[in-house]
Structure 1
């Protein structure tokens, strides 16, 4: 174990404590403040006619669940992405996954097809869009002189993400109705959802988790080099493709619920690597837990940082993540 790493039980206990603390704050603090007794009444004796019960269950609990799921998805996607490409700067927002997913969702919204707008298909459409654009990033990097070098893949990701964002803006420019319904969502916001939208992402969410846990040990051997991994019996190409499918699903779920929230997948895996050295499956759930904690904290800041209005959660994560990205880039390329 790394000399500076912390014991896994300590880290897990701290994360569970923070998760419980932020969850309680998410449920109790707001325009209306609720006591623990009121919260327990809403959970164990819910009555739709009681105003406080509806606020707690249908708004705040929903907000809490979405923030936790989105944070976990983005953190696991970032962890898998950095493992697959061997790039500590790997992040869904930077490498085109979020931009591709957003473009796919906006394009389907612009078409106005009721089937394409179904909450059950939306995560899959977003996943396909993210996967296609990320494949384009990898292809562009592969065709360059330096191949999959860190700087090459990072620049290709930033460039193609900007291109996809431009196409998204162009679609919105010619479709005012879609613009009005997706503007806040494009800033990375987790408000305005319903429980059916959360139920709709459960199948792909569970599938992505199962795939990620099954493939993560094989992906971890890639850190030893492709030849060593193949010598250990790992089918490198197949493992990478399966891992990329899990990443695309995680990003599709996150984007379909909350829009393109950035930098969670960058911040969390790098912090986890600094804190602990564990087996890949343990690292995956620690990333998920820390991602949920981080996004809950960011959401609380977004709601209560300004007294007059709320910020988009993606705005807070961008304010946190941009300095982290610059710091990591300077450290890596120095």
Structure 2
């Protein structure tokens, strides 16, 4: 804690107000505009026979809930990842988690097994794939001369992510049916979902959040160095493994819902560190709020930036995140 930490309530209130404004905008603005009275009626007195209620609840509300959950998951995953490896460039999209999760989901889709494609197993499959590729990234970096240095880990992550993306493309080329159903999803598009998919990930989301909040203090101490952490009684290996499991779950949930959306886990934790310095659990909460705000804003831009058509949400986050990554890398490596 330092002198800036009292600003935490103000930052939290500001983010909540922004989130509320974005929620209202997402629900009311679109091809059809709805008044506040219509929105309240749909939310609190939902009638499936009314066309306006179905548009608001089954399309727009679903869309914003998915965007908020995915944004929060990616931001918390990025925060935990940067804390564990001590790398400000740590991001699920760059370090192979998103690519591994996408490859696992596409591979199971190509197999055509209905059980593997169920909404309940899909996030777990994505989490396993993301965790496996991230483990490969860490192992490849560890074998190098520099070990788990920032440059080495980042380059290994980018390389293995590209390799996994190539394998995903090959699988799609040999399975045209899978290609058609996953093309938009692979661009990071929040569309075509149902409430059943949200209900399916809810237990995993709660589990990941609980694990992340429990392990955050230990990971914060670990960021001071292994020897310091061990001296303070932190079980280093166990804390890292638990933290990586939480990261894999967050990424699996995000990818299973919206595809591989990048750079949210890079932008948000770095912004939070610039704004405030707080206790680990408070930092996780602020990251989740800001991640939800960022992805909702990006989703609104994706829907309304062009008049004739909408963009994939992942396209907007890439346009925002690529310059941020270049700027951070230039500042870190100079």
TM range, smaller chain: over 0.9
Separation of aligned partners in 2, 1:112 and 1:230:
47
The match for 1:142 is 142
- Measured after TM superposition, the shift of residue 318 of structure 1 is 0.2
Gaps of 5+ in 1: none
Gaps of 5+ in 2: none
Secondary structure, in 3 states, of the residue corresponding to 1:7? helix
Q: Does structure 2 conserve the Cα–Cα contact (< 8 Å) formed by 1:190 and 1:257?
A: yes
- Measured after TM superposition, the shift of residue 238 of structure 1 is 0.6
The match for 1:209 is 209
The match for 2:115 is 115
Q: Does structure 2 conserve the Cα–Cα contact (< 8 Å) formed by 1:5 and 1:274?
A: no
TM-score of the superposed pair, with normalisation by structure 2: 0.99
Secondary structure, in 3 states, of the residue corresponding to 2:210? helix
Separation of aligned partners in 1, 2:137 and 2:95:
7
The match for 2:229 is 229
Q: Does structure 1 conserve the Cα–Cα contact (< 8 Å) formed by 2:4 and 2:277?
A: no
Instruction: Please say if 1:38 is aligned against 2:14.
Output: no
Secondary structure, in 3 states, of the residue corresponding to 2:223? helix
The match for 1:16 is 16
The match for 2:97 is 97
Separation of aligned partners in 2, 1:293 and 1:224:
30
Alignment of 1:64-75 (within 5 A): 64-75=64-75
The match for 2:292 is 292
- Measured after TM superposition, the shift of residue 6 of structure 1 is 6.3
The match for 1:307 is 307
CA RMSD of aligned residues (A): 0.8
Separation of aligned partners in 2, 1:44 and 1:316:
32
Separation of aligned partners in 1, 2:157 and 2:5:
31
Separation of aligned partners in 1, 2:273 and 2:107:
37
Residues 119-173 of structure 1: per-residue CA shift (max 9 Å, x gap): 0000000000000000000000000000000000000000000000000000000
Separation of aligned partners in 2, 1:255 and 1:35:
33
Aligned length: 334
Q: Does structure 2 conserve the Cα–Cα contact (< 8 Å) formed by 1:184 and 1:312?
A: yes
- Measured after TM superposition, the shift of residue 5 of structure 1 is 5.9
- Measured after TM superposition, the shift of residue 298 of structure 1 is 0.1
Q: Does structure 1 conserve the Cα–Cα contact (< 8 Å) formed by 2:190 and 2:258?
A: yes
The match for 1:241 is 241
The match for 1:78 is 78
Instruction: Please say if 1:331 is aligned against 2:328.
Output: no
